[in-house]
Amino acid sequence: MIGFDEAVGLIAEQVLPLGTEQVALAEAAGRVLAAPLHARSAAPRVAVSAMDGYAVIDAATRPGEPLTVVGESRAGAGYPGIVQPGQAVRIFTGAPLPAGADRCIMQEYATRDGEMVRFAEGYGPGWHVRTAGSDFAAGDLLLAAGTRLNSRAMIAAAAADLAGVTVARRPRVAIIGTGDELAPPGEAHLRADAIPESVTFGVSAMVAESGAQVVHRVIGLDDLQALETAAGAALEAADLVIVTGGASVGERDFAKPMFVPHGLDLVFAKVAIKPGKPVWLGRATGKWVLGLPGNPTSAMVTARLFLLPLLARLQGQPVAEVLRWRSLPVAAPIGATGNRETFVRARWDEAGLMPLGNQDSGAQGALAQADWLIRCPAGLPALETGQPVSTLPF
């Protein structure tokens, strides 16, 4: 049994990116850039107005003095002429600043009378002009390799004026849930000894949120021969196979044995953490296999701690991209930890970081309330309210 940091270090060291592909920008949301993204052109390419109003020559404009409106400038259709002293051009937000003009006066200060316009006192000091290249210049680095294209990054990617981007190949993931007691949601009530299978649904959601795709999902009974067949099909379909449950040492715990015929080579067999000690990682037929505990809370905590780093590495990101710890004060006492590093589930409310009352590894209702993990090293004394703790968004 190894420690948490050592296990994460092995993932960082041994898991390599899957490769890259070119995709259309419209299909790139959620993907990870595999190459830096540089701007094709400056933004804005020319000086533009930041307000609706009138473009003028500042030195030739005085409050109350009339100017002749000689045309207008709209976004996508600028004024073609050159503004002269005594002239103004009606201009709209985002429109090119006409040649000769150097400021925009907001329309709130303007009084229009036919082709003439006057401006009231107090229209300064802002000039309301976005100069060419004030956002970025042609060739500027907008997004570094390894950046996930979230909603904000997609704006920058589109602003670069590129039709396609180079991204990391999307990991293909297969999930096998084990346990005779499991039944599909909606059917468990039909069997007295059945429970709704929930873990693979949570894991599937985490996989999708990380930019990977579930290509194969199956619930297997505790039958070794059938599970060996299921393992083979999953390994053939995916880059990463996740198996839930069956990771202890009971007579019907087949999570590891089911992969033995496929050449299972373990990277680690268990980790000294609570919850989730049975978590394990290995390779079979050149594919990664991650074993998660069967208890829902244990499964989701270990998925957050090990699955997300694994998927990050497969997409060319560093482990630190998904394990960004931050120090926060705890809003309620936490009991002393034992001989294993403990990850306490917590929620954020008006009082701050509040540990959940139910820390059972099988809890499902409480799990939905948890949005933070508090990292408590082994042997840590009890913590009082207000003490800083190391935390991770869950």
CA dihedral 303, 308, 311, 316 (to 10 degrees): -160
Residue with tokens 């599937």: 204
Q: Are residues 179 and 307 in the same domain?
A: yes
Q: What is the pLDDT of residue 183?
A: 86
CATH number, domain containing residue 118: 2.170.190.11
Q: Are residues 302 and 365 in the same domain?
A: no
Number of domains present in the structure of the chain: 4
Q: Are residues 214 and 106 in the same domain?
A: no
What are the tens digits of pLDDT across the range 218-244?
997 789 999 999 999 999 999 999 999
Average pLDDT over residues 23-40: 97
Q: What is the pLDDT of residue 211?
A: 94
Please give the Cα distance from 77 to 92 (Å, whole number). Answer: 10
Q: Which domain holds residue 143?
A: 20-43+135-168
Q: Are residues 330 and 289 in the same domain?
A: no
Please report which confidence band the pLDDT of residue 248 belongs to, taking 50, 70 and 90 as the band edges. Answer: low
Q: Are residues 174 and 80 in the same domain?
A: no
Average pLDDT over residues 66-92: 98
* Higher-confidence position of 179 and 89: 89
Q: Are residues 30 and 153 in the same domain?
A: yes
Please give the Cα distance from 349 to 176 (Å, whole number). Answer: 35
Q: Are residues 341 and 315 in the same domain?
A: no
Those residues with Cβ within 8 angstroms of residue 296's Cβ, 6 or more apart along the chain or in another chain: 198, 199, 202, 362, 363, 364, 367
CATH number, domain containing residue 139: 3.90.105.10
Kindly tell me if the per-residue pLDDT of 56 is higher than 90.
yes
Domain-terminating residue out of 321, 336, 355: 321
Count CA atoms within 13 Å of residue 25 on its CB side. 14
What are the tens digits of pLDDT across the range 366-382?
999 999 999 999 999 99
Are 129 and 103 in contact, with CB atoms under 8 Å apart?
A: yes
φ, ψ at 135 (rounded to 5°): -85, -55
Q: What is the pLDDT of residue 253?
A: 80
Q: How far is CA 195 from CA 17, 105, 246, 300, 390, in A?
A: 37, 69, 16, 18, 35
Domain-terminating residue out of 168, 190, 218: 168
SS (H, E, C) the chain: CECHHHHHHHHHHHCCCCCEEEEEHHHCCCCEECCCEECCCCECCCCEECCCEEEECHHHCCCCCCEEEEEEEECCECCCCECCCCEEEEECCCCECCECCCEEEEHHHEEEECCEEEECCCCCCCCCEECCCCCECCCCEEECCCCECCHHHHHHHHHCCCCEEEEECCCEEEEEEECCCEECCCCHHHCCCCEECCHHHHHHHHHHHCCCEEEEEEEECCCHHHHHHHHHHHHHHCCEEEEECCCCCCCCCCCCHHHHHHCCEEEECCECEECCCCCEEEEECCEEEEEECCCHHHHHHHHHHHHHHHHHHHCCCCHHHCCCCEEEEECCCECCCCCCEEEEEEEEECCEEEECCCCCCCCCCCHHHCCEEEEECCCCCCECCCCEEEEEEC
Q: Are residues 121 and 54 in the same domain?
A: yes
Average pLDDT over residues 164-187: 94
Please give the Cα distance from 321 to 8 (Å, whole number). Answer: 13
Are 154 and 29 in contact, with CB atoms under 8 Å apart?
A: yes
Q: Are residues 157 and 207 in the same domain?
A: no
Q: What is the pLDDT of residue 251?
A: 62
Q: Are residues 156 and 208 in the same domain?
A: no
Residue with tokens 């090293």: 377
Mean residue pLDDT across the chain: 95
Does this model's pTM top 0.75? yes
Task: Please return the burial class of 140, using the count of CB atoms within 10 Å of its CB with bins 0-12, 13-18 and 19+.
Answer: middle
Kindly tell me if the per-residue pLDDT of 207 is higher than 90.
yes
Domain-terminating residue out of 81, 113, 130: 130
CATH number, domain containing residue 354: 2.40.340.10
Q: Are residues 215 and 316 in the same domain?
A: yes
Q: Are residues 126 and 31 in the same domain?
A: no
Buried b (16+ CB within 10 A) or exposed e, 270-285: bbebbbbbbbbbbbbe
Q: What is the pLDDT of residue 110?
A: 97
Please give the Cα distance from 57 to 367 (Å, whole number). Answer: 63
Q: What is the pLDDT of residue 246?
A: 82
